[in-house]
Structure 1
Amino acid sequence: MKLENTIFKKLSCIFAITSALFLGSCETLTQISKSLDLGTPTDSEINSGLKQALEYGTSYASDRLSKEDGYLGNLAIKIVFPEEAKKVENTLRSVGLGSLCDQVITSVNRAAEDAAIEAKPIFVAAIKDMSITDVKNILLGADNAATQYFENKTTSSLEGKFKPIIESSLTKVGATKYWSDVITRYNKIPLMTPIEADLSKYVTQKAIDGLFYEIAKEELKIRENAAARSTLLLQKVFGYADSQGS
């Protein structure tokens, strides 16, 4: 009888969630998960559920940013002139060289897009290395706990992987030449203080910053939006986390 009740509860849960998704019910998945007893997840379920969510979130962010305009078309992370070169950009635009500045901006964003896909195996390795303590701390931690974990564990590896790709891409798309032209022309303007900037280092850092920005968005989505919890395991694990935070 106990086994039959357990099976019935699981089937009821699956049916309710499916109905909400496919039959247009106004009851949200959050309300459903609260109305059904999914139970307290085991350590194994917490481990599997969180890692499943993190692998999906990091892969999705990496894939999205690696597409054309992944950086260039996203105003939140679009790479523009470094702060120390803003005066360069403004001066050149004021003397009719705006198109050259635009070429620099387009090309550095294309370089970041070329590198973004390389983040996936680095994140997968970091996820596999997580202990159950790491997993629980992330699950029950702040809304950006996973993002902070990845920043601490993967930034060095990402820099090592991204920089040569970005350097190659900057050359391929002409950014190095455009940047050199920009700096050369600026430095020839009378009374201007000559400027130098490490373009590949700057683009690498901004590419990584943009990647973590997108990962943070994915993390927040699955923590706050029950509809983003696409499996019963995720519903159970993050429903438990919700209950611990209330």
Structure 2
Amino acid sequence: MLVMPFDVALWIELFAAGLGGLQGALFAAGERHRRIDVLGVIVIGLAVSLGGSLLRDIVLNQPPVVIWMNWYLLVAGGSAVLGMLLQPVFARAGWLLATLDAVVMGLFGAIAASKALSLGVGAAGALVVGVIGAIGGGILRDVILNLPVSFLQVGSLYAVAAGAGAGTLIVLTGFGTPIPIAGLICLLVTTAIRLPAVRFGWTFPEQRALKSRRTTGP
């Protein structure tokens, strides 16, 4: 079992929280047909920013760091307000939301997987935790907005990108790669899969019910 120190600087976690709050608020503020108020936009920004970290720590049976440390809430809340104010400027920049989404997934996936490894979680479990950390905020966003949960629908390789990034980090650290380098490569792998998938519409095939053949008598 691979056990290693949790070597992620606080500023990286806060940077990820800030980008998550920004992306979540930009997404929510763009949903004008839902008539989401100011508080609602901030709540969704907080959910995207902190949801993955919260679910990660619950799964790992750790005190939720986003609750116990004030900086997370302050950075996430401030970024959500900023995202709400900037949304009219970036209203037509769909590429920005997609890019922020991919980067946030990569960052949170790397942080979650490395934290799991530092606690002695095996490779398979660390992969699951990495995916949960990467997509947890998006799941909470979809639940709050009553949208189809992204990773359960036919979509642009949402969980696949998260899993590929986290899996890459786990393999690299197994060969002794320092966490900062492995985390950066995790981010690049996640983004390199997610963005082309969004751009070109790459998806898994949709499941189809098996059609029973009609039997005809002689």
* TM-score of the aligned structures, taking structure 1 as reference length: 0.27
* TM-score of the aligned structures, taking structure 2 as reference length: 0.30
Larger radius of gyration between Structure 1 and Structure 2: 1
Q: Which is helix-richer, 1 or 2?
A: 1
